[in-house]
């Protein structure tokens, strides 16, 4: 399928800000300041130092340039961008700034996905990578992710150091951002199609043969970067029983056909369901705009729709990877600390070593990097719909997962089974786990203060019970301490602003976002009254 990117009218910065109807007053952008966090920088497009525009992006680019020239002899960078407003323009601006500082830059003339960026860094052996994306955020957001030479997002120490370089530049309006056309021509290079082809080859080799069955698949890119590359991969794997949600498989920075371009939101599947019911299809798949997250749903023979949450998808994929690697010894899986106990129980049942890390796929990437030669990584995931089966990429990769989950479903289909049958079998073996995520947004200047107050109250006054559940243990990853039975012990984890509270029936975790004015509450419990109990916990903590 040919995309229509070439026909898209490229935007100038002036045109965008003239035409954009902002959600809040422009004064907000002048009363706040964007900060480069541990996951990069992400925020609304707009005017002022608190918004993304050519001045704030230029400042970040110059900070990156200074950081790289201080830390590498002959630095090189690959820059990819997604389908969002001004992603293409930001990519060009950053490339020009880096080139002016004598840094070799590889760019693309069309949109690409985040996992492709991670692969390109490794394939080209560049010093760093830059991805212009705001992932699954609303249409008026954009952002920058910075990657190290291993294809993983910068580790915490490097992110803090880079942030210092950016901050010391001061007011972005006072920075001289004049770029040299000669330097751009000398140092900026269009990336070869061979890199994309090599990535596709890695995916197809990893997945192998998809068995023939009567499985039908409906796929949507939610206006993002996974089309045309996913259809190309499926065709090369000789799987043709898929249909695209055509109106959602074109690049559109306004995400016009969906309220939220996020596969975590079940409403994102509405048009896929509509198409699937007309075609009696079984498996529905959606990826987010930069194609690092993937969601799935199934329709049974009676027309009932089952939506899978991130923990369930992770458990299914882990279960499949364990089956595929039964001949291997010293198998390892990695998951984040806010991910359900379900995956851990599956791993333990099959003698697979479990490693838990802080939220953020860079920590999973570090575990992969630090494995001994005898260890065999088989799967890594986060509950937020991010998965990695084959580590030729070092970030979550929806593109490699799409054909893998199709292969799994097709194998099941040959015996008259569905993914939900497989999940029910898992629950029978290790017990059913219920999971829910609450995300509270506190906009404006006082938003961060509200979030800090919630975390401070929980730390200063550790609860003995929440919603009738007795607390048995609290882990504070910022203090690197565990409180249990009245005694405090140290825990060997990197510092992070996360609290994890355990009960007999499971756990909850509180984690403020590093890039957005949000605080997330993760609830993972075994309970017959889970929905009511989860709501009570949320109301108690957020004082709703």
At residue 17, the pLDDT reads 61
Q: Is the pLDDT of residue 6 over 60?
A: no
Residue ending a domain, choose from 191, 210, 244: 191
Interval 95-99 mean pLDDT: 96
Do residue 489 and residue 399 come from a single domain? Answer: no
Q: Would the pLDDT of 23 be above 50?
A: no
Question: Among 390, 414, 430, which residue terminates a domain?
Answer: 430
CATH code of the domain covering residue 419: 3.40.120.10
**Tokens standing for residue 393:** 């990429």
Asked if residue 200 has pLDDT above 70, the reply is yes
191, 218, 240 — which closes off a domain? 191
Same domain, 415 and 452: no
d(CA 286, CA 288): 7
| Same domain flag for 373 and 225 | yes
Beta bridge partners of 503: 506
Summarize the confidence of residues 191-195 as an average pLDDT.
96
The beta strand positions in 485-537, using DSSP E, are 487-490, 499-503, 506-512, 518-525
Catalytic residues: 135
- Asked if residue 347 and residue 422 are part of one domain, the reply reads yes
- pLDDT number for residue 64: 97
Mean local confidence (pLDDT), 114-133: 98
pLDDT at residue 1, as a whole number = 41
Residues 402 and 460 reside in one and the same domain: no
**338 and 249 assigned to the same domain:** yes
Domain identity same for 146 and 221:
no
Non-local (6+) Cβ contacts of 332 within 8 A are 352, 353, 354, 355, 367, 371, 375, 376, 377, 378
Do 368 and 393 fall into the same domain? yes
My answer on whether 316 and 384 are in the same domain is yes
Q: Is the pLDDT of residue 20 over 70?
A: no
Provide the CA 362 distance to its chain's centre, in angstroms: 11
Positions of E strands within 92-140: 104-107, 128-132
Number of domains in the chain: 3
**Does residue 3 carry a pLDDT above 60?**
no
- The whole-number pLDDT of residue 26 equals 56
pLDDT of residue 436: 92
169, 265: one domain = no
pLDDT in tens, 413-467: 999 999 999 999 999 999 888 999 998 888 776 778 889 899 999 999 999 999 9
What pLDDT shows up at residue 21? 47
**460 shares a domain with 369:** no
Alpha-carbon distance of 362 to 358, in angstroms, equals 9
Q: Which domain holds residue 36?
A: 5-191
In this structure, are 182 and 153 located in the same domain?
yes
How far is 5 from 18, CA to CA, in rounded Å? 22
Residue with the bigger pLDDT between 240 and 16: it is: 240
The enclosing domain of 522 has a CATH number of 3.30.310.50
Q: Where do the DSSP E strands lie in 1-154?
A: 41-44, 76-81, 104-107, 128-132, 141-147
């Amino acid at each position: 399928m040919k995309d229509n990117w070439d026909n898209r009218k490229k935007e100038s910065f002036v045109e965008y800000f003239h035409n954009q109807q902002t959600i809040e007053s422009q004064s907000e952008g002048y009363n706040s300041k964007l900060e480069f966090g541990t996951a990069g920088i992400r925020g609304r497009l707009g005017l002022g130092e608190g918004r993304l525009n050519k001045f704030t992006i230029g400042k970040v680019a110059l900070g990156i340039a200074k950081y790289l020239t201080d830390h590498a002899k002959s630095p090189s960078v690959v820059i990819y961008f997604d389908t969002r407003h001004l992603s293409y323009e930001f990519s060009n601006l950053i490339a020009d700034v880096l080139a002016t500082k004598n840094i070799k830059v590889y760019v693309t003339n069309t949109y690409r996905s985040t996992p492709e960026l991670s692969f390109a860094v490794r394939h080209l052996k560049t010093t760093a990578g830059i991805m212009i994306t705001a992932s699954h955020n609303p249409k008026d957001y954009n952002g920058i992710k910075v990657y190290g030479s291993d294809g993983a997002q910068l580790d915490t120490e490097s992110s803090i150091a880079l942030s210092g370089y950016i901050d010391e530049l001061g007011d972005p309006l006072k920075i001289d951002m004049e770029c040299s056309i000669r330097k751009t021509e000398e140092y900026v290079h269009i990336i070869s199609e061979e890199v994309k082809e090599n990535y596709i080859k890695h995916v197809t080799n990893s997945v192998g043969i998809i068995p023939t069955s009567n499985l039908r698949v409906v796929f949507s890119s939610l206006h993002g970067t996974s089309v045309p590359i996913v259809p190309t991969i499926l065709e090369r794997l000789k799987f043709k029983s898929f249909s695209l949600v055509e109106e959602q498989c074109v690049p559109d920075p306004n995400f016009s056909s969906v309220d939220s371009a996020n596969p975590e939101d079940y409403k994102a599947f509405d048009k896929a369901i509509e198409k699937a019911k007309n075609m009696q299809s079984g498996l529905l798949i959606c990826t987010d705009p930069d194609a690092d997250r993937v969601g799935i749903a199934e329709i049974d023979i009676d027309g009932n729709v089952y939506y899978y949450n991130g923990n369930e998808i992770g458990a299914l994929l882990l279960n499949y990877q364990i089956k595929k690697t039964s001949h291997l010894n010293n198998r390892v899986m990695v998951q984040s600390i806010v991910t359900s106990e379900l995956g851990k129980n599956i791993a333990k049942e099959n003698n697979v070593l479990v490693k838990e890390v802080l939220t953020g796929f860079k920590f999973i990437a570090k575990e992969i990097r630090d494995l001994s030669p005898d260890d065999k990584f088989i799967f890594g995931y986060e509950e937020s719909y991010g998965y990695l089966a084959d580590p030729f990429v070092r970030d979550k990769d929806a593109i490699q997962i799409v054909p893998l989950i199709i292969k799994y479903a097709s194998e099941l289909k040959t015996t008259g089974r569905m993914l939900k049958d497989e999940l029910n079998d898992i629950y029978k073996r290790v017990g059913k786990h219920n999971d829910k995520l609450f995300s509270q947004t506190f906009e404006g200047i006082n938003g961060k203060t509200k979030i800090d107050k919630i975390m401070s109250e929980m730390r200063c006054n550790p609860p003995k019970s929440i919603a009738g559940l007795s607390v048995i243990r609290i882990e504070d990853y910022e203090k690197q301490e565990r409180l249990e039975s009245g005694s405090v012990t140290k825990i060997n984890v990197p510092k992070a602003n996360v609290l994890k509270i355990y009960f007999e029936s499971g756990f909850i975790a509180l984690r403020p976002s590093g890039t957005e004015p949000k605080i997330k509450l993760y609830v993972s419990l075994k309970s017959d009254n889970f929905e009511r109990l989860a709501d009570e916990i949320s109301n108690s903590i957020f004082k709703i």
